[in-house]
Chain A
Amino acid sequence: MSNSSIDDKDITRELWQSRLPICFILSDEDMSKVNRSESPEPLYLMLSRHSYFPCIIEKIFRYYSTYYKGNLNDQTNNINLNNLWLEYESIPLKWHYPIGLLYDLYTSSLSSSSSASHLPWQIIVHLSKFPENELIRFPDIESIEAHYMTTLKEADALKHKGQIIGDMQKRDHKQLWNSLLQDKYEAFWNINIKLMSYTDNLQYFRYIPFRIYILDKPFMQKLFSPYNIEQNKWLTLYDLLQYTLNHEVQCEKLANEKKFLNNNIENYRVIIHGVQPPLHSPIQWLSEYFSYPDNFLHICLIENQMR
């Protein structure tokens, strides 16, 4: 879509390389069960924004389990990998959301400090009392891979009626996931570039894969074409947001809800990958260059605080 393809590619590389410094701190409850003379220090890791917490769960568990020697399979302690969960400001973190999305959504909305920087991101590690009703257990690597692949299929269903991913070899699917795990940008984009092409004589995606997240609400996802044929113009991030918010309010009215979403865009900060893209950015461009590796644009709307 764009003329300066070299500059645009640089952006995808920058996004790929973006990291978050995270400080994992053991919960007080589990700290009290440590059976060594010294308590565990916080664990500091630099994690990829587009990765998923379960990809490093084993690493976290191995670090803390050295402090529970002899206790590991003790029933009364319940300290085991299956019971590990992560929390930020009393919120159990969903394992299937990319790390960067969780950071953008929760630290911007919830942090009690008003300072701009919430880094390193402080996360509480729990090794017991898994919140059964709020979280699915951190699954194994195969489950996260399955989740990633199914999300990719959904994105392609929206963009190309599933034609491109359907025609890909199984080994191409594997390459996408493995390069994500092993942090291999070139290997990833060698395949991902195919998912960014056009089909059906269109010069754009049929529909844009996107999700909009507002704190304490399930995400919103709608059908949205990036090009307005009648008016012969490219639609922007602003257009997409306005359409989604208006549509959602319509749905709330049809469902006889008592309270409605605030559909005034001015009320929100719009964050993708930790930055606020200009609202006049063409959504086709954002979809091609600013999507997560699952090919979705995960967009956070952070309500502006009342001053």
Chain B
Amino acid sequence: MSTIESDKTESKTVNFDETNLSPTRPSGDSENDGKIVFLLKAAGGAPILKKKKWALPRSKTIGHIVEFLKKYMQLDVEQQKQLFLYVNQTFAPAFDTTIGAVNDCFNSEGILVLHYTFTPAWG
């Protein structure tokens, strides 16, 4: 089997396309194209989202989610400066980490829980 070219994964620009992030399909539908299902939970006084459950292709990065959240939550300039995304309420993965890698290691029964805060709540 000859060497396979890599698929270009995450686009380098920060422009987000809202259609990339979709709430999960109705519970009866188990087909989600290998997308990662994750829950976004507020911590450290950050506003709570109405939509908590999301799905993204595994190649999307933590940085992509952070940039999306900053726009989606319509943060003011001060708040936009820092948004932290924590896994296990313990560590904040680097922005170029894929959600697939995080999910593979830290999902709980098929769902990955991420906490977002404006302050480094867990260091």
Contact = CB atoms under 8 A, between A and B. Distances in A.
Interface of A: 94, 96, 133-134, 136, 146-147, 149-151, 153-154, 157-158, 162, 166, 207, 214-223, 247, 251-262, 264, 267, 303, 306
A259 B59 CA distance: 14
**8 tightest CB-CB pairs across the interface, nearest first?**
A254-B34, A255-B34, A153-B91, A221-B101, A150-B91, A154-B91, A133-B12, A218-B98
Contacts of B10: 218
Chain B, interface residues (CB within 8 Å), range: 35 or more
B7 A157 contact: no
A241 to B, nearest CB: 15
Interface of B: 1-7, 9-10, 12-14, 33-35, 57-59, 61, 87-88, 90-98, 100-101, 104-106, 120, 123
Given A153-B91, A158-B105, A261-B4, A94 B96 contact: yes
A187 B47 CA distance: 42
Given A146-B123, A147-B94, A150-B91, A216 B6 contact: yes
Contacts of A134: 12
A251 B36 CA distance: 11
B14 to A, nearest CB: 7
A136 B35 CA distance: 27
9 contacts: A136-B95, A162-B90, A218-B59, A221-B104, A255-B59, A259-B6, A259-B7, A262-B1, A267-B3
A207 to B, nearest CB: 7
Given A133-B13, A157-B88, A150 B123 contact: yes
